[in-house]
Amino acid sequence: MLREEELVRHIEQALKSLGNYFSSPDELRDTANRVARVWIEMTDGSRQSAPKLKWFPTKFEGLLIKGPIEGYFLCPHHLLPVVIKVFIGLVPNGYVLGISKITRTILWACKRLALQEDITQLIADRLWDVPESYKPVGLIVRVIGDHFCEKIRGVKRQSPTITTQVRGFIREEFLTMFYKHIKEWA
């Protein structure tokens, strides 16, 4: 159950605890409300149903590559953003998933407090766990993340964090094409 007013009060108290709340009242006016709205927006995927998937008949037997699709979510340890690029590779089995549904699925998966590994798993599960007649021959999900909890605190450096999920069967030449595409776009 979402309690926005309570969230705003807690954010105001946190700002006061930092000693910054009254030092520049004009700059911080409505800050607690704005932060609450951002947190609610960035986590509402966990309160929403997954987007419906739409499949279309196809004779295409090659590799469909979609990406990079940019997304972002909040790290559950520091509440700092993780900005990601997602690449999807699908080998259809008589049906192909509507490409806008891939993007909608990624954006839905990102709207939560999560680890990058869990976002990758959630996207793969959603695109793979479909009726058998629509299930692709193979699926690969690659997520490249830029973690602000690493970039602006702690080690204060950034190197990409890469997670991958593979389902089904993907021929070697398709994997080569997929990784070449990522190298060109990442």
What's the confidence (pLDDT) of residue 123?
Answer: 98
More confident of the two residues 29 and 138: 138
Strands 55-57 and 161-168: unpaired
More confident of the two residues 28 and 137: 137
Cα 83 from Cα 19, distance rounded (Å) = 30
**For range 122-150, the mean pLDDT:** 96
Cα 58 from Cα 51, distance rounded (Å) = 22
Q: Tens digits of per-residue pLDDT, 78-123?
A: 999 999 999 999 999 999 999 999 999 999 999 999 999 999 999 9
Q: Write down the mean pLDDT value for the chain.
A: 92
pLDDT band at residue 60 using 50, 70 and 90 as cut-offs: very high
Torsional class of 54: left (φ above 0), alpha (ψ -120 to 50), beta (otherwise): beta
Contact 146, 138 (CB under 8 A): no
Percent share of the chain, pLDDT over 90 = 77
Cα end-to-end span (Å), the chain? 38
Measure CA 43 to chain center: 11
**For range 148-169, the mean pLDDT:** 90
This prediction's pTM: 0.91
Question: In order of start, what are the domains of the chain with their CATH numbers?
Answer: 4-47 (no CATH), 55-185 (3.30.1130.10)
